[in-house]
Amino acid sequence: MRTVPGIVLAVFAVTLTACSGGSSTTAETSGATSAPPSQTTAATGTQPDCTAGFLAQYTTRQKLAQLLTVGVNGLADAEALVRTEQIGGVFLGSWTDQALLSEKQIDRVEAAARTPLMVTIDEEGGRVSRLSNLIGPAPSARASAQTMSAEEYYTQSVARGRAMKDLGITVDFAPDVDVSSQPDDSVIGDRSYSDDPEVVTRYADAYIRAMRDAGLGAVMKHFPGHGSGSGDSHTGAVRTPPLEQLRQVDLVPFRNLIGSGAGVMVGHLDVPGLTTDGIPASISPQVMTLLRQGAGYGAAPFDGPIFTDDLSGMAAITSRMGIADAVAAALEAGADNALWISSDAVTAVLDRLEQEVRAGRLPMQQVDASVLRMARFKGIPMHC
């Protein structure tokens, strides 16, 4: 069974926006599906709330599960995890058994999901490629920008996007829109298109359009900009230039592309003038507010999905807290989707998140808003 592609399909977005009456907490602690959305009445002329019926199908735990994307090893753990906890997405890493894709085992995982499942991957080209043996290699972002036009890059990328979709991928955690002059083999390096933010914008826009036209969702990374960071967040804390400097360079591609339909991934970055000491961007309320409101870096407001970078395999987070604490902190800060790379902690994480909701630290209104953003990104229609 193939699920709805993980992309902001315009017709679905319009349907949801036109019908939405805002977030609802209806049936937030029950699994009831019979509660109807409010009806249009001739007397009042009010619009029906299409989202209320959608949200009513979930228990609180199931809503929270929709906000998790979890790395899996292969068919057994992926299918069990989706069937038992109904998580919103799975992540396929370099360690994942490729039979999930090459033998179409992912269809069994998707069949276990009540809500269309995101099947996500890091496929940037160059040295960050998980599918080169299945769909062929592609040059790095930097090499692409140096050797082909943006439209030639679009043509190459849309073909790769279609090949990814045929394998069962629905969301690509790309493009990398970091602005960087670092050596090719550094943490960002040749993953960046250029040290010129306008070049980054042009090629990242081509990639986002290509994924959309191939039927996949794209996710820009790593907000608010990793290109001039002090190191590798896999190995420890990373400090960026001050916010004012990021506004002039690193944030420019995000500002230019914030209305592109792509999601945004927030990095584990310490940003002078923005983040609180010891609280990296991925779990920082100030960073989420900057991205949502836009005004702090001259951008339009962003109401698409905010993803975290991996919360369990990167020392910039793991040296500070465990996975349950990190996921809770990220969602409470304002992220819509917490990503991590191992499947063994999902039950404990959901137990913790339910506690956060009961304690009022993670308001149900905020959870509902995130569930709806993820549904829009997946292209799920909400008919009244």
Residues of the chain scoring pLDDT < 70? 1-48, 384
Q: Strands 118-121 and 171-172, how do they pair?
A: parallel
Q: Quick one: pLDDT at residue 323?
A: 96
134 Cβ neighbours under 8 A, 6+ residues apart: 98, 101, 102, 163, 167
Cβ-count burial 69-107 (b if 16+ within 10 Å, e if not):
bbbbbbbebbbebbeebbbbbbbbbeebbbebbeeebbe
14, amino acid identity = V
Please give the positions annotated as active site: 234, 309
Domain boundaries, the chain: 59-378
Of the candidates 269, 337, 277, 264, the one whose C-alpha atom is nearest the C-alpha of residue 304 is: 264
Cβ-count burial 121-151 (b if 16+ within 10 Å, e if not):
bbbbbbebbbbeeebeebbbbbebbeebebe
Question: What secondary structure letter does DSSP report for 119?
Answer: E
Q: Quick one: pLDDT at residue 300?
A: 98
Q: Quick one: pLDDT at residue 40?
A: 35
- State whether residue 231 is helix, strand or coil: coil
Dig out the tokens for 283 from the structure.
Answer: 């779990």
Q: Which fold has domain 59-378?
A: TIM Barrel (3.20.20)
Q: Quick one: pLDDT at residue 384?
A: 64
Q: Quick one: pLDDT at residue 46?
A: 55
